[in-house]
Amino acid sequence: MSQLEKTTATGYPSAIVWDLDGTLVDSAQDLATALNSLLTEQGKHTHTVEHVRPMIGNGVGKLIERGFRASGASLDEPDVNKLLPRFMELYSACATQNTELNMDARSVLESFYHAGVRQGLCTNKPVSVTRMILNDLDISGFFGSVIGGDSTPHRKPHPLPLLTCLDELETRPEDAVMVGDSGADVGSARAARVPVILVPDVYTGVPAVTLGADYVVERLADIPQSIPPHPPLRQSA
């Protein structure tokens, strides 16, 4: 019996912690707008949204680094840190213009809410703009804890953000499940000893089945049925 099966043998887990970008929402258009504005200010060429998608993940610093590298400029960490405040100004101004919920996200959140499952959010996106997006999409009420990339000294794949979220939800790791779409989500969950379900990654293009999750589902709507007594669509070895 897997850890996730033990966690959910009598029903749903006590808590579910969600990733944001790629898992619950598609924010690529707004991230691309902010990145391209920053690139333009710095005299660099811009990128299409589809070119920006695989750059998303592991925080906005990585997005800046990848965006400038793709424009022919290599930035070290101090250079990225200098550009971060301006990026956040640009992004905060457009973060809710085109960001939208992924298919079935609201209905799945509602399903677990009505089932009495505590829900948290653990993202590498800064917490201030995360709350802006949650409020704009009218889903902030589903979450008893919201942890952003600047809420703790470490970001995913470090376990601290996830463990902090669970602490605020008053839930033990063994009684929870993480739902995400990336290797950072798997790494954080594994380090925190929390079972992890992945949905297909809409950003990096890395097949979710290669990332070592407990379960991989084809779409968000499959998550309630992937928890026993229903069998998972795919279980890692």
Where in the sequence numbering do the catalytic residues fall? 19
- Among 193, 186, 176, which Cα is nearest to 227's? 176
**Residues, the chain:** 237
Nearest to residue 148, comparing CAs of 129, 123, 168?
Answer: 123
Distance CA 27, CA 45 (A): 21
The answer to whether residues 149 and 126 touch, using CB atoms and an 8 Å cutoff, is: yes
- Which of 81, 53, 77, 78 shows the shortest CA–CA distance to 67? 53
The upper half-sphere exposure of residue 228, i.e. CA atoms within 13 Å in the direction of its Cβ, equals: 14
Report the 10 Å Cβ neighbour count for 218.
12
